[in-house]
């Protein structure tokens, strides 16, 4: 799920950044610093969407290093799967233990074989999961819709497990490269 | 969280809800749809699922085989406490999700000795869902005339008061057994994050999954995986074979001088690997017979690459050896997949349920510890670029340092597409005639510098026959494991070979084929008994069995090769000899057939020479026999200075008394011998030339233990013999 959140942060500005257009520089630096990172408990920062000038407080020069500490308050768009959310993802790896899929920055969403309907069977020859009526094949590159069963955020990594047991979940598109 | 424990609420708490979907975040409609769908999918009623959605996790069929969920009977143990339960008040309803340690129910008990009332609490042992809530009928246990107003006729009747049941069954809790954990923390079935110290998290074994992911599996799940793998293997009549890359299958270097080196007959490939912002060109010199070996082994074994190299490197090599992805498919384990093993290798993660169907091929035995070493088939390190920087050294595990700032000579275009496997094959030594000689000369100089005293097992890499021998051993092990023969579509011979090994093994005295056959008829009972015991159930047993054939009947005495205070059985050489089935004695006796000596001037050597009929060999004979899993021709390894005494009396005597098993793979004479003979003819001139050029004596030549080295020593022997006689 994508959502907006307002964050506050103290961050350090190097002396070389000081000069005319300071607020623009701060915005640029903040964007560079934040976008694409994984915030603990919040999820991946997709984009910096709002930073008002009034939310940048005057900085303070640190005596030791000469860097400027600036307090800012800004709004970011975040992405984080939640439990029971329905999520679309692309399969990357198929093994006999289940399969792994990516959804944007969230990589390696694991769908265990226990979380797949019973009529799926693993075909070791072609390395695909296939239903008993041979109609559905899950192979690397195809799109699946899953329900998120659990999310665990550790420093630098977000682990997600999913399930395609539910109705209307499972394969939604064939291989797309 | 128990909402209330007040006695007056008890009545309403006893009401058992039939409400099944307690998970609030799912809309009711979805749940109904789900329930309907699941009624089709599975016979199990919808009530059994966790967190409101359907059928999570009970896979009793093909794709699971294991059950992800288990049911716990909730009961209160009142045994021996002198208590009698009076009322049960539930704090939770049926279908509720409960966490571990949560209080589920309170049972108010009365002391039998009349000491008042006690509250006993029922707590959840697992995080799960209340599947069943039972309110037992305790009225029969009441004493007549107690305050609680139920004075039915049955209450008065039991004067003697039936004893309270020792265990009060109160319900059922269904919980996830967490069979698979992602990243060792989160259950992949129910999504619960387990804390590090939890028993399940600790117990779980990590497993490699392709693509660099890793999951952990519980013991039962591992056992299941193992069973299904073993089943698959048995059906295909295959075994697992783990292959190391560097120095086992090939020798790689990043030294640009390799470009100009004369590889002669060897197959060399080059590919580029992007590493830390640099493009590194790797040259890979394949071991002789590698491709034949792989295609042969593929028929009987499921091949897996396990290397200490980086992932890119491993995949490039795999692409090189296996452009169609038929040999290894995705079974490639690299250093990046196991950063926490610190230079060790472990099959635990490949085969969490046990490794009894796996064999390992590696040049460095020290990285395989414990049980795994019994599955190891060590090979002679294949070193071609002896003076160059080695890629992926095991010791430091650091990426090999770059030689010079520009690793690629500027004259070459930087990027032949790495995707096309046979990028550059140096089939002919086109521009490098001179430089090749230079390096040869360099090599010579180096050889001369190093004193020839410790004979080495390294021969000419071009004449390396390790893989041929290894293949024979692998074939023998496979035949032993699957006595009925190899894959149905391979030649019939496999089965016969396998049997013959078992039978040829014979009594320790050793027989040739005739006597084995005779023995089979004569002492059929014994043979049967032997067979009944023999066929070992796991691959390690088969391997050691095959090994034990190699030097069966040989008695070895060490002289000067081991420190004085070391038990020869515990030394490396002793281990080799014992595992090859030889006997080790510590003092000279008439039974000694082989004397492994360091130099010709020890007392034991003198005695052996006096006695005759004893091979006096260098340690290379034992080492090579071990590595090749094949009894090497002693004549090629006779200790320098002892040859003249040994050959006349020794050769005959030994040949007569020693067993030469007829099985394939354990047979030193026969086909390979012929091959050697032929090579001998072809190469003798060349050898002679080189000999005279280098001006080396026969003794010095001894250090070439393999290939043409052997041949030339044989030649020397003949020459020496002629000298002696004539």
Q: Is the dihedral of CA B394, B567, B660, B645 positive or negative?
A: positive
> In A6-159, where does DSSP find H-type helix?
22-34
Are A161 and B68 a contacting pair at CB < 8 A? no
Is residue B384 scored above 80 in pLDDT? yes
C-alpha span between B59 and B682 (Å, rounded): 65
Least confident segment among B73-87, B219-233, B380-394, B499-513: B499-513
Pairing of strands B555-559, B594-597: parallel
Query: Tell me, what's the pLDDT at B14?
Result: 29
**Average pLDDT of chain B, as a whole number:** 65
Burial B471-505 (b: 16+ CB within 10 A, else e): bbbbbbbbbbbbeebbeeeeeeebbebbbbbbbbb
Asked if the model's pLDDT at residue A86 lies above 90, the reply is: yes
Find which of B50, B207, B213, B228 to mutate to test the A interface (most A CBs within 10 Å of its CB). Answer: B213
Enumerate residues 6+ apart whose C-beta is below 8 A from B563. Answer: none
Average pLDDT over residues B606-626: 84
Helix or strand holding residue B529 (H, E): helix B524-533
B715/B694 Cα distance (integer angstroms): 16
B191–A118 C-beta distance less than 8 A: no
Among candidates B61, B185, B215 on the partner chain, residue whose Cβ is nearest the Cβ of A152:
B185
pLDDT confidence of residue B503: 36
Q: How close does chain A come to B533, measured CA to CA in Å?
A: 35
Domain B536-725 has CATH 3.40.50.1100: no
SS3 state of residue B696: coil
Interface test with A, best of B188, B193, B194 (most A CBs within 10 A): B188
As given in the structure block, the two tokens for residue B441 are: 């000369």
Print the SS3 string covering B13-69. HCCCCCCCCCCCCCCHHHHHHHHHHHHHHCCCCHHHCCCCCCCCCECCCCCCCCECE
Q: Which of B215, B192, B65 is nearest to B129 (CA)?
A: B192
Q: What is the pLDDT of residue A80?
A: 93
Torsion (CA) A111, B177, A159, B24 in degrees, nearest 10? 80
The highest-confidence range among B334-343, B452-461, B520-529, by mean pLDDT, is B334-343
By the CB < 8 Å criterion, does A54 face chain B?
no
User: What chain A residue is nearest to B180 in terms of C-alpha separation?
Assistant: A112
Same topology between domain B239-401+419-454 and domain B536-725 = yes
Interchain proximity A92–B211, CB inside 8 Å: yes
Nearest to B180 among A83, A112, A127 (CB): A112
Do B189 and A147 lie within an 8 Å CB cutoff?
no
Distance CA B546, CA B477 (A): 6
pLDDT confidence band for B211 (50 / 70 / 90): low
Mean pLDDT of B379-387: 82
The set of residues, in sequence order, having a beta carbon less than 8 Å from that of B405 and lying 6+ positions away, is: none
Distance CA B569, CA B565 (A): 12
Q: Which residues of B touch A95 (CB under 8 A)?
A: 209-210
Percent of chain B with pLDDT over 90: 1
CB contact under 8 A, B185 and A163: no
Would you kindly state where each structural domain of chain B is located, as residue ranges? 7-175, 239-401+419-454, 536-725
- Give the model's pLDDT for residue B196: 64
pLDDT at B534 (0 to 100): 45
> Is residue A81 a contact partner of residue A100, using CB atoms and an 8 Å limit?
no
Predicted local distance difference test score (pLDDT) of residue B495: 35
When pLDDT is averaged across residues B574-594 and rounded to a whole number, the result is 86
- Rounded to 10 deg, the angle between the B493-504 and B466-481 helix axes is 80
Burial of B686 (0-12, 13-18, 19+ CB in 10 A): exposed
Name the residue among A120, A152, A157 with its Cβ closest to that of B63.
A120
Write out pLDDT tens, residues A47-72: 999 888 778 888 899 998 989 999 99
CB contact under 8 A, A150 and B180: no
Closest to B575 measured CA to CA, from B618, B626, B619:
B626
Q: For chain A, say whether B189 makes contact (Cβ under 8 Å).
A: yes
**For residue B212, what are its two tokens?**
């660099």
Within 8 A by CB and 6+ apart from B33, the residues are A167
Q: Do B213 and A110 touch (CB under 8 A)?
A: yes
CB-based contact (8 Å) between B169 and chain A?
Answer: no
Q: Which residue, chain included where needed, has tokens 């890629």?
A: B391
Flag if A150 and B187 touch (Cβ within 8 Å).
Answer: yes
Q: Assess contact for B111 and B88: CB atoms under 8 A.
A: no
Residues B570 and B620: beta-carbon distance below 8 Å: no
Is the torsion defined by CA of B186, B190, B192, B198 positive or negative? negative
- Three-state SS string over B371-392 comes to HHHHHEEECCCCCCCCCCCCCC
Q: How confident is the model at residue B513 (pLDDT cuts 50, 70, 90)?
A: very low
Using a 10 angstrom Cβ sphere, with 0-12 exposed, 13-18 middle and 19 or more buried, the burial of residue B94 is: buried
How many residues are present in chain A? 177
CATH top-level class of B239-401+419-454 = alpha beta
DSSP string, B74-114: EEEE-TTTTEEEEEEEESS-TT-EE-TT-EEEEEEEEETTS
Give start-end residues of each CATH 3.30.1490.120 domain in chain A.
Answer: 2-79
Largest CA distance in chain B: 124
Q: Which of B33, B61, B191 is the closest to A118 by Cβ?
A: B61
**In this structure, what token pair is assigned to residue B272?**
């580029």
Q: How far is B295 from chain A (nearest CA, A)?
A: 18
Inform me whether the C-beta atom of residue A152 falls under 8 Å from chain B C-beta atoms: yes
Between residues B188 and B698, which one has the greater pLDDT?
B188
pLDDT in tens, B128-146: 888 888 887 776 655 544 4
Yes or no: say if A171 and A144 are a contact pair by the CB < 8 Å rule.
yes
pLDDT band at B48 (very low <50, low <70, confident <90, very high): very low
* A126 part of contact set with chain B, CB < 8 Å: no
DSSP-derived 3-state class of residue B591: coil
The CATH T-level fold of domain A86-173 is OB fold (Dihydrolipoamide Acetyltransferase, E2P) (2.40.50)
Sign of dihedral through CA atoms A159, A171, B25, A112? negative
Mutation target vs A (from B32, B97, B182; most A CBs, 10 A cutoff): B182
Chain B residue whose CA is closest to A147:
B53
Task: Give me the phi and psi of A8, to 5 degrees please.
Answer: -120, 145
CATH 3.30.1490.120 applies to domain A2-79: yes
Taking an 8 Å cut-off on Cβ atoms, the answer to whether B191 and A100 are in contact is: no
pLDDT value at residue B432: 35
B574 burial class (0-12, 13-18, 19+ CB within 10 angstroms)?
buried
A87-145 residue pLDDT tens? 999 998 888 888 999 998 998 899 988 888 888 888 877 888 988 888 888 988 999 99
Residue closest to B188 by CA, chosen among A119, A159, A122: A159
DSSP state of B195: P
Residue B603's pLDDT is 82
**Higher-confidence residue: B595 or B702?**
B595
Given a cut of 80, whether residue A159 has pLDDT beyond it is: yes
Mean pLDDT comparison of A8-12, B35-39, B583-587, B702-706, highest-scoring range: A8-12
**Dihedrals phi, psi of A87, to nearest 5 degrees:** -135, 140
Q: Above 70 in pLDDT, residue B171?
A: yes
Q: What residues in B contact A98, CB-CB < 8 Å?
A: 180, 188
ipTM of the complex: 0.82
> Is A110–B215 a contact, with Cβ atoms under 8 angstroms apart?
yes
CB contact under 8 A, A97 and B54: no
Name the least confident of A170-174, B111-115, B648-652. B648-652
Mean pLDDT score, B313-336: 84
What distance in Å separates the CA atoms of residue A163 and residue A117, rounded to the nearest whole number? 9
Q: From the list A110, A114, A121, which residue is nearest B57 (CB)?
A: A114
Q: Where in chain A is CATH 2.40.50.140?
A: 86-173
pLDDT, tens only, B630-686? 888 887 788 777 655 544 343 333 333 333 333 333 333 333 444 334 444 444 444
Confidence of residue B289 (pLDDT cuts 50, 70, 90): confident
Please tell me the predicted confidence (pLDDT) of residue B87: 82
Q: Tokens for A51, please give them.
A: 């930073």
Of these ranges, A141-145, B514-518, B535-539, the one predicted with the greatest mean pLDDT is A141-145
CB contacts < 8 A, A to B, total 122
Residue among B286, B282, B263 at smallest CA distance from B435: B263
pLDDT at residue A18 is higher than 60: yes
């Amino acid at each position: 799920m994508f959502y907006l959140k307002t964050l506050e942060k103290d961050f350090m500005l190097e002396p070389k950044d000081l000069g005319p257009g300071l607020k623009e520089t701060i915005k640029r630096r903040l964007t560079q610093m934040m976008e694409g990172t994984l915030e603990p408990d919040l999820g991946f920062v997709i984009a910096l969407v709002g930073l008002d000038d009034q939310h940048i407080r005057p900085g303070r020069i640190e005596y030791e290093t000469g860097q400027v500490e600036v307090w800012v308050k800004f709004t970011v768009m975040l992405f984080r799967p939640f439990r029971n959310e329905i999520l679309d993802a692309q399969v990357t790896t198929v093994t006999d233990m289940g399969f792994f899929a990516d959804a944007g920055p969230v990589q390696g969403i694991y769908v265990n074989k226990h979380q797949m309907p019973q009529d799926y069977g693993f075909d070791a020859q072609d390395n695909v999961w296939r239903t008993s009526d041979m109609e559905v094949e899950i192979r690397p590159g195809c799109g699946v819709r899953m329900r998120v069963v659990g999310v665990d955020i550790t420093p630098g990594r977000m682990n997600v497990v999913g399930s395609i047991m539910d109705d209307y979940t499972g394969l939604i598109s064939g291989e797309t490269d | 969280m128990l909402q209330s424990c007040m006695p007056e609420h008890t009545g309403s708490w006893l009401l058992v809800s039939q409400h099944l979907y307690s998970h609030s975040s799912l809309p009711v409609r979805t749940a109904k749809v789900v329930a309907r769908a699941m009624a089709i999918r599975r016979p199990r009623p919808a009530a059994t699922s966790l967190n409101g959605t359907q059928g999570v996790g009970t896979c009793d069929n093909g794709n699971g085989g294991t059950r992800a969920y288990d049911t716990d009977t909730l009961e209160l143990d009142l045994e021996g406490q002198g208590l009698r339960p009076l009322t049960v008040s539930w704090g939770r309803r049926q279908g509720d999700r409960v966490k571990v340690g949560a209080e589920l129910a309170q049972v108010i008990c009365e002391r039998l000795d009349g000491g008042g009332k006690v509250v006993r609490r029922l707590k959840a042992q697992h995080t799960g869902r209340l599947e069943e809530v039972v309110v037992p009928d305790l009225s029969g246990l009441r004493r007549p005339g107690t305050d609680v107003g139920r004075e039915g006729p049955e209450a008065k009747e039991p004067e003697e008061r039936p004893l309270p049941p020792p265990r009060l069954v109160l319900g059922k809790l269904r919980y996830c057994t967490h069979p698979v954990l992602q990243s060792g923390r989160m259950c992949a079935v129910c999504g619960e994050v387990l804390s590090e110290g939890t028993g399940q998290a600790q117990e779980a074994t990590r497993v490699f999954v392709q693509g660099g992911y890793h999951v952990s599996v519980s013991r039962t799940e591992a056992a299941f995986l193992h069973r299904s793998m073993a089943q698959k293997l048995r059906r295909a009549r295959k075994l697992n074979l783990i292959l190391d890359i560097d120095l086992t299958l090939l020798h790689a270097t990043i030294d640009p001088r390799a470009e100009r080196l004369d590889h002669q007959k060897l197959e060399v490939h080059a590919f580029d690997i992007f590493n830390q912002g640099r493009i590194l060109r790797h040259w890979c010199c394949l071991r002789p017979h590698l491709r034949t070996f792989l295609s042969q082994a593929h028929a009987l074994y499921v091949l897996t690459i396990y290397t200490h190299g980086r992932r890119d490197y491993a995949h490039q090599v795999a692409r090189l050896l296996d452009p169609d992805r038929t040999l290894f498919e995705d079974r490639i384990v690299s250093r990046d997949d196991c950063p926490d093993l610190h230079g060790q290798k472990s099959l635990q993660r490949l085969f969490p349920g046990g490794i009894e169907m796996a064999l390992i091929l590696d040049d460095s035995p020290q990285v395989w510890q414990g049980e795994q070493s019994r599955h190891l088939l060590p090979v002679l390190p294949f070193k071609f670029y002896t003076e160059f920087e080695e890629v992926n050294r095991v010791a430091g595990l650091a990426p090999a340092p770059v030689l010079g700032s520009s690793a690629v000579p500027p004259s070459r275009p930087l990027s032949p597409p790495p995707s096309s496997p046979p990028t550059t094959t140096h089939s002919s030594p086109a521009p490098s005639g001179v430089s090749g000689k230079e390096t040869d000369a360099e090599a010579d100089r180096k050889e001369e510098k190093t004193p020839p005293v410790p004979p080495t097992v390294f021969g000419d890499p071009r004449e390396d026959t390790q893989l041929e021998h290894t293949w024979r051993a692998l074939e023998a092990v496979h035949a032993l494991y699957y006595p009925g023969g190899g894959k149905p579509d391979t030649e019939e011979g496999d089965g016969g070979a396998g049997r013959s090994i078992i039978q040829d093994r014979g009594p320790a005295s050793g027989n040739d084929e005739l006597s084995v056959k005779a023995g089979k008829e004569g002492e059929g009972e014994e043979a049967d008994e032997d067979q009944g015991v023999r066929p070992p159930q796991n691959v390690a047993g088969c391997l050691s069995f095959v090994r034990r054939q190699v030097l069966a009947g040989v008695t070895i005495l060490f002289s000067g090769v081991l420190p004085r205070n070391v038990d020869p059985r515990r030394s490396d050489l002793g281990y080799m000899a014992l595992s090859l089935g030889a006997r080790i004695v510590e003092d000279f006796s008439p039974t000694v057939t082989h004397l492994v000596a360091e130099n010709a001037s020890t007392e034991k050597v003198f005695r052996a020479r006096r006695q005759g009929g004893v091979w006096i060999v260098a340690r290379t004979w034992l080492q090579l026999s071990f590595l090749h899993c094949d009894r090497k021709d002693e004549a090629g390894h006779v200790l320098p200075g002892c040859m003249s005494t040994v050959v006349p009396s020794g050769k005959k005597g030994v040949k007569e008394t020693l067993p030469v098993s007829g099985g394939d793979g354990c047979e030193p004479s026969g086909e390979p011998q012929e091959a050697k003979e032929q090579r001998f003819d072809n190469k003798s001139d060349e050898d002679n030339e080189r000999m005279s050029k280098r001006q080396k004596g026969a003794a010095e030549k001894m250090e070439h233990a393999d290939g043409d080295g052997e041949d030339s020593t044989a030649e020397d022997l003949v020459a020496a013999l002629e000298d002696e006689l004539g």
